[in-house]
Amino acid sequence: MRILKPLAQRLLYGLLSLLLVSVVTFWASEQIGDVAVILAGEKASPETVVRIRHSLGLDQPAPVRYGRYLNNAVHGDFGMSFHGTHEPVKDIIARDLPMTARIAFMAILLSAIVGIFLGTVAGVYQNRFQDRAVLIVSTLGVTLPNFVLAPFLVYFFCLKMDRLPQTWEQNRVAADYMYLILPVVVLSARPAALLTRLTRASFIDTMQQEYIRLAIAKGVPRMRLIVRHALRNAILPVVTAIGTSFGFLLTGSFVVENFFGLPGLGKETIEAISKRDVMVVQACVFVTGAMFIVVNLIVDILLPILDPRIREAQI
């Protein structure tokens, strides 16, 4: 039963973090401008603006408006969009969230696989050609921003070789993942490079531990030593970093979705900011923050499972 206590604490921290996200989101949306003026138009009469402000409850104090916003958000009600067909915001989220979640989880999976593999190779062949090659590639991955890497890959694979679609097309079926290859590669490049360097450093440090030297002295086969002893312990800080990297992927998706024309939360948020559609901005940022918190909560739950020492310390 004692192991439930740290899990409950992490859940509480997650809820508090989500509450903080809601406060920041509400405050930021307040800075966009007077919603009543946005809806009525700049040429509207003062009486019209006052009437709209009263109908939306914008004439109430900020704490009251925040309480109403938080209560509605908890129940999945994010209001109505101020533009276009005045579509319910929850319908916009339901339509765009799957795309953002899909490319984010595919990117984190790709970055974890590539990062752990290349980091292990670099650690095994420390200070040799393989290690230097991996370090060069990872340095490029860290330094190249998304808005530089994306046009380069589009030019090479889409225009020059004509192997991949350049942008998402409205009539594509959901099962066609060809249009996701470049966005996922661009989005995962920097996290993969960071995880590569972290895995390498952790692997080298693990290989210097006393129990590894003892296993070598006992004649444990090299592959078994690497996979079952060294990598198993070296991967623990990498798991923690994967949760942190997910936040970068969510923010990076804003750029990637707009560049490739993907109908996700990132593209929707940018469009809502340009139109000053406060309700959509609030909902998109709130849902994005919730996704980040949930992923990190899952990572916190996985760590005691992967490392018995953490589980014993909690008990």
The answer on pLDDT for 57 being more than 60 is: yes
| Ordered structural domains, the chain, with CATH | 97-314 (1.10.3720.10)
* Token pair of 52 as six digits: 């709209």
Q: Which residue has the higher pLDDT, 43 or 249?
A: 249
Mean pLDDT of the chain: 82
Angle formed by the axes of helices 181-207 and 146-153, nearest 10°: 120
Beta-bridge mates of residue 88: 80
The answer on pLDDT for 170 being more than 60 is: no
**Which DSSP category does 179 fall into?**
G
- Averaged pLDDT, 166-190: 75
Name the CA radius of gyration of the chain, rounded: 24
In this prediction, residue 247 carries a pLDDT of 78
- 279, 58 contact by CB (below 8 A): no
CA distance 10 to 16: 10
Q: How many other C-beta atoms lie within 10 A of the C-beta of residue 149?
A: 19
Write phi, then psi, for 80 (nearest 5 degrees).
Answer: -115, 145
**What dihedral angle (degrees, nearest 10) is formed by the CA atoms of 268, 69, 25, 282?**
10
In this prediction, residue 310 carries a pLDDT of 57
In this prediction, residue 74 carries a pLDDT of 82
CA distance 25 to 36: 19
- Summarize pLDDT for 255-271 with one digit per residue, the tens: 888 888 888 888 888 88
**What dihedral angle (degrees, nearest 10) is formed by the CA atoms of 204, 209, 214, 217?**
30
Q: How confident is the model at residue 132 (pLDDT cuts 50, 70, 90)?
A: very high
- Summarize pLDDT for 186-218 with one digit per residue, the tens: 999 999 999 999 999 999 998 888 888 888 888
CA 68: distance to chain centroid?
A: 28
* Token pair of 270 as six digits: 């940018």
User: Residue 34, by phi and psi: left (phi above 0), alpha (psi -120 to 50) or beta?
Assistant: beta
- Which residues 6+ apart lie within 8 Å of 126 measured at CB? 204
Where do we find the tokens 């670099």? Answer: 122
**What dihedral angle (degrees, nearest 10) is formed by the CA atoms of 179, 181, 183, 189?**
-170
To the nearest whole percent, how much of the chain has pLDDT over 90?
Answer: 16
**What dihedral angle (degrees, nearest 10) is formed by the CA atoms of 28, 94, 69, 272?**
30
Residue ranges of E strands in 108-189: none
Provide the residue type at 157 as one letter. F
- Which residues 6+ apart lie within 8 Å of 102 measured at CB? 180
Where do we find the tokens 């920041």? Answer: 24
Is the pTM higher than 0.75? The answer reads yes
CA 202: distance to chain centroid?
A: 23
Write phi, then psi, for 144 (nearest 5 degrees).
Answer: -80, 115
Q: Which residue has the higher pLDDT, 40 or 75?
A: 75
